[in-house]
Amino acid sequence: MDNPLFYVRALHFAATVSVAGVVFFIVGISEPALRSAADDMRGALVVRSRLAWIAWISLVVVLLSGVPWLVLTAESMSGQPLGALSHGVLWIVLSQTDFGNNWLLRFVVACLLGGLFVHFLSAKGVTSLWLKTATVLLAATLVGTFAFAGHAIGGEGVEGIIHPSADVLHLIAAAAWVGALVPLALLLATAGADAASLAIARIATRRFSTLGIISVATLLLTGIVNSWYLVGSVSALTATVYGQLLLFKLALFAVMVGIAAVNWSILTPRLVQNADVTGAQRARRQLRRNTAIEAATGTVIIVIVAVLGTLPPASHAHHEASGAIPADASFQHIHTEDGMADVTIEPGHVGIANVTIHLWDADGNKLDARQVTLTLSPQSAGAQSITRPALQDADGLWHVERLKLLQPGDWTVTVNAMLGPDKRIVLTAPIVIDAK
């Protein structure tokens, strides 16, 4: 929790969900409701203005938070502190890693959305079919491609198609439901006591109910697929930090579904079908309150998702102990969005040591590297780093022999794996060297 990358990732993800959610809400819910009650021009202007504020602020946060996300990820991949990062390192991350390519794509999409927002968020509303279609597609792309900055990449064969597809649909459905909750609560809060405002609230609530049912069904189905690949077993679900956080996320999701069920089965009919204005307004206020609770719960889920994206999936737990670890060895499992490594230093104390490196891709398959370089850096001031090339054996393991470790304490281990002429991954983590 002390890693700033976690907070930046959570903020960026929340803003992305908000951008997509408000776009889906405007096209599918608010505009049809506002246009059906053309007599309430003042109410329509207020709603559109507030939705525009949400959209613009969320998009700005996406762009601003994307920069530190890139820099902190480059720091993690390169093993260089923030002050030592150069434009060359950032360009390598952008051009030669899956994360960097995805970051560039999402940055372009966000900029294009900003250009469309100038007309899409007009106070008069959006009527152009091509503008609505283009904005919805870009918003879906912005949130959907978040899947390729996470655990869904790296699969082979059928898994390489099904898992990313399920993750993309999962993210879009989450934005359509969770991202649209705040806009819905805002619209319900804006509605007054007059008949026109009540008509807007009724239409919007009815349309949101339909969208919510479709989104929840999609989340359930795609969540099962994702869990199959990322968890793998009941024991991994309960015995790993990833699995325990996922269980907490599922519990919160169940709470949201329970609240949504009350809204759909009880409060929405009271608002839509109730001829008594007083009773309908009471149902509107209860819906607004419940929607706000759902939105708050959804925010916690987004934070959990941000944490899960930085942890090795539960299905990878067996990799953390690949083979017997010698009692006197220092061991570190390194996991990033692009790949994983097990680093074993034997013996793990001052003196002459041998290093074994086991590499996988992000989905747990053997990583076919052309060249691997190991760097060990003491964290004490003025200490010299050790950089050595690794040699591969017949089993695919990489070895560095007879390293001379001169001091105990906290070190940083960096594995630089060259995958091709223009692609590499850099895996970095702390490791402890004991006194002899």
* pLDDT exceeds cutoff 50 at 412: yes
Check: CB of residue 115 under 8 Å from CB of residue 41.
no
Distance (Å, whole) CA 145 – CA 405 = 43
pLDDT on residue 175: 94
Residues 197 and 135 in one domain: yes
Sheet hosting strand 371-378, strand order edge to edge: 386-389, 371-378, 409-420, 423-433
End-of-domain residue from the set 255, 288, 314: 314
> What are the residues facing 360 on neighbouring strands?
340, 366
Question: Biggest alpha carbon distance in the chain?
Answer: 84
Helix axes 159-177, 129-144, angle to 10 degrees: 120
pLDDT on residue 126: 84
pLDDT on residue 382: 64
Check: CB of residue 116 under 8 Å from CB of residue 134.
yes
Sign of the dihedral defined by the CA atoms of residues 26, 32, 36, 38, in that order: positive
Per the model's pLDDT, the better-predicted residue between 340 and 316 turns out to be 340
Burial 157-166 (b: 16+ CB within 10 A, else e): eeeeebbbeb
Q: What is the CATH number of the domain that holds 351?
A: 2.60.40.3340
Residues 297 and 329 in one domain: no
Distance (Å, whole) CA 220 – CA 212 = 12
Report pLDDT digits (tens) over 132-182. 999 999 999 999 998 877 655 555 556 667 878 888 999 999 999 999 999
Residues 197 and 342 in one domain: no
pLDDT on residue 1: 56
DSSP H or E segment with residue 341? strand 339-346
Residues 280 and 326 in one domain: no
Residues 221 and 157 in one domain: yes
End-of-domain residue from the set 297, 314, 331: 314
Residues 78 and 98 in one domain: yes
Report pLDDT digits (tens) over 82-114. 554 556 677 777 877 777 888 999 999 999 999
Q: Please give the mean pLDDT across all residues of the chain.
A: 83
Residues 259 and 341 in one domain: no
Reported pTM? 0.72
pLDDT on residue 76: 67
- Helix %, strand %, coil % of the chain (to 5): 65, 15, 20
pLDDT confidence band for 38 (50 / 70 / 90): low
pLDDT on residue 18: 95
Which position has the token pair 């001052």?
A: 350
pLDDT (mean) for 217-239: 77
Residues 195 and 127 in one domain: yes
Sheet hosting strand 330-335, strand order edge to edge: 330-335, 339-346, 351-361, 398-405, 391-392
Residues 287 and 349 in one domain: no
Residues 309 and 349 in one domain: no
What phi-psi label fits residue 281: left (phi over 0), alpha (psi between -120 and 50 degrees) or beta? alpha
**Total structural domains in the chain?**
2
Residues 203 and 60 in one domain: yes
Distance (Å, whole) CA 233 – CA 228 = 8
Residues 253 and 286 in one domain: yes
pLDDT on residue 93: 75
Burial label, 302 (beta-carbon count in 10 A; 0-12, 13-18, 19+): buried
* pLDDT exceeds cutoff 50 at 203: yes
End-of-domain residue from the set 283, 298, 314: 314
Residue 395 belongs to domain spanning:
322-433
Residue 337 tokens, joined: 């969005």
pLDDT on residue 324: 61
Report pLDDT digits (tens) over 296-330. 999 999 888 877 776 666 555 544 445 567 778 88
Half-sphere exposure in the Cβ direction for 62 (13 Å, CA): 29
Residue 26 gets which letter from DSSP? I
